[in-house]
Amino acid sequence: MANQLQPLNKARLIDRLNQQKWCNFQGENDIYLETEQGGLFFSLTGEQDEILTVRGIWRTQLKVDRLVDALSFCNEHNHSCLFPKAYVVLHAGEEYFSIHSEIAMDYEHGISDTQLDHYLNMAVSCSFDFFDELDDTYGK
């Protein structure tokens, strides 16, 4: 069963996250994993919930005067690394902005438990590696 392709759904996703012993919080549409470095949101989208997206938010916000540097950092990361996609979110009317990560995959034809575990490990580790790079560059 672990290697059989099965449709992706929220119950399977929660089960696999629990198997990894990752603490998660469930909202109406998202599952949330919070750590010292930041948070990860796991969501299913698409006509049949076949697209699994893991979005991360680095816990540190930077002042707007560092925006150009952060954009360059994200662009360099996106150029040199396949995962995660990195981008800046500027909050209208605020002095601060946040840095986000994102990994999305389409599992229209199903995914095995082994593949799902691999994807989740990759998404979490790549996201937190990116957050480590941010900590090293900008401080905690």
Query: For residue range 14-47, what is the model confidence (pLDDT) as tens digits?
Result: 899 988 877 667 777 678 888 888 999 999 999 9
Q: Is the dihedral of CA 13, 46, 119, 61 positive or negative?
A: negative
Residues 107 and 48: their CA atoms lie apart, in Å, by: 10
Burial class (CB in 10 A: 0-12, 13-18, 19+), 17: buried
- Chain centroid to CA 119: 11
For residue 127, what pLDDT is reported? 97
Residues 41 and 30: their CA atoms lie apart, in Å, by: 6
Query: For residue range 73-115, what is the model confidence (pLDDT) as tens digits?
Result: 999 999 999 999 999 999 888 899 999 999 999 999 999 999 9
Structural domains present in the chain: 10-139 (3.30.1460.70)
Write the CB contacts of 10 (distance below 8 Å, at least 6 apart in sequence).
Answer: 31, 44, 49
Q: Which residue has the higher pLDDT, 36 or 70?
A: 70
For residue 1, what pLDDT is reported? 59
Concatenated DSSP letters for 24-38?
A: -EE-SSEEEEE-SSE
- Look-up of token digits 């952060």: 70
Provide the 10 A C-beta neighbour count for residue 131. Answer: 24
pTM: 0.90
